[in-house]
Structure 1
């Protein structure tokens, strides 16, 4: 059996094993812990690239743990969307863990206990959520990443962090309880939680069971909307993310994407009948589909309004994260293959730039004394060219200016909205969001790098470079990844469109996962038979 047959589970097992090893090493052997964590995260990136290459061939990689057939056993399934999300997780995680190990005095990972072990557990939860093939294990992986995030949120302590962390923990515990209740209702109505099986059974549910299924689907939508920070469940995010440590906040940029992914998988495909949205599970689509687009557009508006009112750079970036989530979910809410492909194209670029800006907010804050990253004039740091240039790069991308991926993604979304009844609203909101983000970032940039006050006394010289070498490399890696998406825009767009087309084929997904539907044997791959123009067969 080829090792590639195990690719779906390796992104889960690798960080899990690394976390256990890091706990055994302990914090006393910090250098060894850093080396192990960095090496494991780099290896995870290579595995994610291999998984993406396999998925890009059109194969659905199915891994059945214990050889138990689905839907009775645990099945991990990697398609184009799953592979993209696993690669995005690794692309953010590697620069972030490098930054945490080198930036600051002391470095971020030295400000609390077991940082790297918790970091790896969170990677385990993130990757598991993206490759799981059933709702119950989605809940399990949600809890793994949330438990790790609770401790990471409080890493380094501090009064503001403790206050925001307490709210974060309580709200997520409540969401987890709703998650379990929603799962119970769905299982009671459909008799399964396997995503492939549920997509086939749900349209056949009728009578009282159909009402139970609708209630369960709505509860799951509330939970996923909270995780994604969709309006009106988004007000917790800015305070939480701005209070967290910079590497933690950068990693948390992926947390909202888990919620987006879950909405896509469950309410876009299983309960939405694919990208056409024409038929759904016992009317469950009729409850969720009309809500997604207006709530997504409201999230865009609220996010940019919060960014314009923000008084610190970290809080501004947190609000822009809300706006970026709204943009992706607007594409989902349009329910069309073109719109889904555009949203998938926009998603990785927006995540990378949000992570980049969170790290830059920390760098700026460390070099402005007591003012930190507050948007108020203070004495300028020496040689701000590195910081100013990187900030400009991030601002141009997230505001949606050419030629970076934010611009290309929004153009594709605007094109996809043509002919939709809400096309005018989508155009107005996305253009207004871009203008508002540009104003907010221009104001922040002018205050941070232009409107400097004269120092009251001779100031201690700033370091010759804004960052230590390794930490600078971490920031540049995130910036380079965003630029690479623009350079490779054509193949990335083809991949995103192929992923959207693959999501529509509910029957092909079920055929690969379920033996009774003619699926593949355990630990094997079944070629995806759908055809997408410009994609490999």
Structure 2
């Protein structure tokens, strides 16, 4: 392995950190320079993610030892198939969301580009870290940046939603520290590979402490993922922030889902001895209830952005239901569905912005209004995004759900999973059909002069939808990669050996 490949895992973390520091130093520089630095740094994450994806595709697990300290004593970054997959989804969403923000959202408050880069620093670090305490650190970094991004531009509803978001996540962070402290007190390590070895040897007198810490971790990750009943912070936060921030936040809930998958497969998997399959009795029922609640919220929504926020909650339920099957086919279905739902949700959040502006004072509320300028283009893109979010053919959401239903054939949850996924899918179609009808068809003539959308207003959303279409065109290679990733996760010994160097 050449020198550049060895340093690949640190670059997606280092690049946004350096860019954020430079932008902070240049906070009084011309706006064009700040935008250029932010755009170049964000765009560079795409080829970096592709390079890591290509490197990890043969099963290679790159381990980067900060300070050249050996694990478990030093901090490590680990780039395996799953981490590269998450980095790729993050880079694509971040690039197109930033392109949308350059239309003017970035000047509605202070330090947008600094916060944006720090958010990417936290996201990429969370996906790459091999240490549980540093997962907490990167969580805090991305959350601190998200507080500023959520409130960017101000407004009563935005500030109210932001305060709820801050308070809830501070409680989650406190519980995270309790869990981390308990695991360290019992095992003397927070390296996840080392924890996987030590948890498998948990002695009976420490079993209650370890199970409590594991369930606390699950609660924290469920909060980040907006799993029921810890989902109430999400609809207001996502519906009232700016469009590019909401689009970027589409990947933030996936950090919680990623953490659940990583921790359950590595630390509490089938080989974890007395704490094996710790979450097996919890994850599937909570995922299915979350899916139902999200779709019911989407039907009851009174505005487009609120509806999209509930659809994000529903997508989390679908995703975690796939992970809860705890099989290669089930996890592969979830990993295929994850980038699809992230790209689709981000696209429709970006699309809601020009739709709201083109409707004047009615914004994105589900009320009959005057015919909007640019309705053919906006309506066509909304139709494509709605198909993607509802999981209808021929787009990738249908393939993801088909893979999930097929994976459930041998599961004891077969009847429940099929019933909930199919019924909620129908509810989602009804909700989005109602939205499209109210926004684009139930119109009346008026003298109100409404601004026509420019191509730059909808091109970022169209770009994300094109990547979703690419997941259909190259469905074979993408699903093969997802299957290989699932198999790698369910056999974590290779990860443990790569991090610990094969030492006992």
TM-score (norm 2): 0.98
1:432 CA displacement? 1.0
Partner of residue 280 from structure 1, selected from 266, 272, 275: 272
Cα distance in structure 1, aligned partners of 2:21 and 2:8: 21
Partner of residue 228 from structure 2, selected from 219, 226, 231: 231
| Structure-to-structure mapping, 1:121-520, within 5 angstroms | 121-273=118-270, 279-283=271-275, 285-286=277-278, 288-455=279-446, 457=447, 459-460=448-449, 462-463=451-452, 466-469=453-456, 471-517=457-503
Cα distance in structure 1, aligned partners of 2:254 and 2:319: 9
Contact 2:319 2:338 in 1 (8 A): yes
Aligned to 1:531: none
Structure 1: segments with no counterpart, 5+ residues: 274-278, 519-537
Aligned to 2:55: 54
CA RMSD of aligned residues (A): 1.2
Contact 2:359 2:450 in 1 (8 A): no
| Partner SS state of residue 274, structure 2 | coil
1:270 CA displacement? 1.3
1:461 CA displacement? 5.7
Cα distance in structure 2, aligned partners of 1:430 and 1:223: 25
1:382 CA displacement? 2.2
1:48 CA displacement? 0.7
Cα distance in structure 2, aligned partners of 1:329 and 1:361: 26
Aligned to 1:534: none
Contact 1:27 1:33 in 2 (8 A): no
Cα distance in structure 2, aligned partners of 1:449 and 1:152: 30
| Structure-to-structure mapping, 1:12-23, within 5 angstroms | 12-23=13-24
1:517 CA displacement? 2.6
1:505 CA displacement? 1.7
Contact 2:248 2:346 in 1 (8 A): yes
Contact 1:214 1:282 in 2 (8 A): no
The one of the two structures with greater contact order (alpha-carbon pairs below 8 A, sep at least 6) is: 1
Give deviations 1:66-122, integer Å, cap 9, x for gaps: 1101011001001100000001000100000010011xxxx1000001101100000
1:281 CA displacement? 4.7
**1:32 is the counterpart of 2:18:** no
| Partner SS state of residue 373, structure 1 | coil
1:25 CA displacement? 1.3
1:328 CA displacement? 0.7
1:189 CA displacement? 1.8
TM-score (norm 1): 0.92
